[in-house]
Structure 1
């Protein structure tokens, strides 16, 4: 049986693309190597941070990281190994960390971030989905005086709809667990947060009930081409044919490698710690410890902190030293409290060197479409990417005729 659209990969980008296509009346099959109950999307902080937040690739990032390394607070670990692709990625990352790129990135983040937030709100109202969604801003907390002063210099104007600079009493109201080492904080009001696990499970259930076919616990390991099209994909058990294939496999590039398509992307290992704590100490909203690369997000029944950026690692295990490092850095700036019911997680995110996703139609095999490379911004931009890929498919258009692809895709924003 030849299917209409097969999406390979059931992360948040795959599910949001399936959602947009299903709404447009297309028949969709999602194939994933897991049961979609604990993939990388589940370990996300849940922070929707498209507004007033510096992307990873930004001017000064290398020097700032080196300073944190000296203090023992750096979130970045690079495992030394002879990997040509990683060296190329690092070189491209340093090249991308400039003011011109930053301006373009921030503008694109705001454009597609707003589309995403509007879509999440619409899905909850129209489809009755429960994401534990809160559009109440992101508190950016600074532990370094210089970085706080630098941020204040950029926000030396009044815009009550966009941000609020907090005094000490307001910081204590929003972050009661913070201690006197915190130098300052700014609430960026346009951002939001939710529970990624709830989002993934709600989406999976909704799509299943509305006709999307799921083939789970099956790893697609081969892709075959004929007459400038993808002819089929196959696992160890089955072969599948479709009119259109969407490659949304996160950091895994096996099928792209078979296609001989080099993707400028590297697996970036991150960690999360989910726990319960005294309610009176929970942060009022999602909080970014900007100088530590730690995000703390309150949820309905618990709290999650996420951190670390390991490059060059292929070890999927939760490394205890990394977890303890996160806790140690975090506790320097909080009053003592007990983390209870702790759940530790690690996973790999597909990271591009310029924060741009790799989305669009393959230029040689026209029925193959990429939806990859969103790093830890998958939740922040997945609905926008899903809409872009849906338009590409239903209009049967080329990349050059799709303004969103030309604007937002790393294939064209190199």
Structure 2
């Protein structure tokens, strides 16, 4: 079966690639092994942290993580493994935890994050999509004196459009459940949040209306490569699709990339979310990051979601109750107790690169293959920017060297 552009993977990055490619005039087919109603994108916090959010790999991250481990509050969990690739990833992660890399990454976050925010706002306006989108900032709450004081040194100037340092009374207005154990808080005004489930459902519905084809519950098992091109995309159902171009957006899964002899510097990191209802008077005003605990609390139209944890080296996709209990214990150590009603838990894998920079761009040897991977916990934040970059590459038949987006924002060139 002949196809124009085949996108393998229907997460938020795959859907945004489909969105921009369809707008450019290409006929698009999205293939996913599931029905894309419970992917990693659906479990996302919905926090769009383009501004003033440090990457996972930052100066002091190893020391800070070890201290939190001793207190039983560390979000990071490492499962010992015999896989040398994970240790190579960890080494690269540590090497990236320096001041120069952090500053560069945060500049890129701001550039491509703002572009994504504008794209989201344009989608909402142009297509009347309901994302439950709010650009009313991200509140960063600190539970450690050291990290709070370091942040205050960075933000020792006045910029009322960008941020505000809150006193405790102001913090309580934003987070009514907070206790005086919190050390301080800063509201970063340029960030946003939305309901990730609404975004996925609304975007898929819009794409179907625009003629994008979805082939679901069909796993791509193999890429048949001949004469430096993807000749066929072969699925578990025995179907063979013959694409003009293939976009690989398979999240943390690297089987197909390995077939293409592409060793991606990326590892799966398991994360969790808890979605629940709580008394309306206790709901936070905006998305709240408990900075030292790596817990995000996001208000939604009818619920609230907590997301946390980074498990490295695990291949167990199930929800582990011990980790859910750990998130709750860490959260309630700094918040007043309340009942989480109609609680739903979720677990999934995020594709993490060692410097939070995605792996995007054309394959150097396979002429009709492009990668859109490695966005980790920031898939929602950067998906539209990545989708526009990929569409520009494919639709205009550009080389990586001709794309400023690829040269600036691809881990292949960082």
**Would the TM-score normalized by the shorter structure come out above 0.5?**
yes
Q: Deviations over 1:288-347 (max 9, x none)?
A: 000100000000000000000000000000001000000000000001111110000000
Report the counterpart of residue 391 of structure 1 in structure 2. 392
Report the counterpart of residue 343 of structure 1 in structure 2. 344
Partners of 1:396 and 1:272 lie apart in 2 by 39
Within a 5 Å distance, the mapping from 1:15-414 to structure 2 comes to: 15-237=15-237, 238-413=239-414
Partners of 1:259 and 1:92 lie apart in 2 by 23
Instruction: Please say which of residues 229-238 and 183-192 is displaced more in the overlay.
Output: 229-238
SS of equivalent residue, structure 1 residue 411: helix
Question: 1:63: Cα distance to partner?
Answer: 0.6
SS of equivalent residue, structure 1 residue 35: coil
Question: 1:36: Cα distance to partner?
Answer: 1.2
Question: 1:50: Cα distance to partner?
Answer: 1.2
Partners of 1:262 and 1:9 lie apart in 2 by 19
Q: Deviations over 1:9-52 (max 9, x none)?
A: 00000000000011111100000001111111000000000100
Question: 1:236: Cα distance to partner?
Answer: 2.3
Q: Deviations over 1:372-391 (max 9, x none)?
A: 00001000000000000000
Partners of 2:157 and 2:260 lie apart in 1 by 51
Report the counterpart of residue 13 of structure 2 in structure 1. 13
SS of equivalent residue, structure 1 residue 284: coil
List runs of 5+ in structure 2 lacking aligned partners.
none
Supply the RMSD in Å over aligned alpha carbons: 0.6
Partners of 2:352 and 2:288 lie apart in 1 by 22
Question: 1:259: Cα distance to partner?
Answer: 1.1
Question: 1:233: Cα distance to partner?
Answer: 1.1
Partners of 2:341 and 2:274 lie apart in 1 by 11
Partners of 2:334 and 2:309 lie apart in 1 by 17
Question: 1:401: Cα distance to partner?
Answer: 1.2
Question: 1:201: Cα distance to partner?
Answer: 0.2
Partners of 1:387 and 1:81 lie apart in 2 by 37
Moved over 3 A (4+): none
Question: 1:3: Cα distance to partner?
Answer: 1.0
Partners of 1:34 and 1:50 lie apart in 2 by 29
SS of equivalent residue, structure 1 residue 271: strand
SS of equivalent residue, structure 1 residue 323: helix
Partners of 1:85 and 1:77 lie apart in 2 by 17
Q: Deviations over 1:200-228 (max 9, x none)?
A: 00011000011000000000001111111
Question: 1:105: Cα distance to partner?
Answer: 0.3
Partners of 1:234 and 1:362 lie apart in 2 by 19
SS of equivalent residue, structure 1 residue 205: helix
Partners of 2:146 and 2:236 lie apart in 1 by 55
Tell me the TM-score normalized by structure 1: 0.99
SS of equivalent residue, structure 1 residue 36: coil
Partners of 1:106 and 1:81 lie apart in 2 by 31
SS of equivalent residue, structure 1 residue 139: strand
Partners of 1:252 and 1:183 lie apart in 2 by 39
SS of equivalent residue, structure 2 residue 337: coil
Question: 1:53: Cα distance to partner?
Answer: 0.7
Question: 1:103: Cα distance to partner?
Answer: 1.1
SS of equivalent residue, structure 2 residue 413: coil
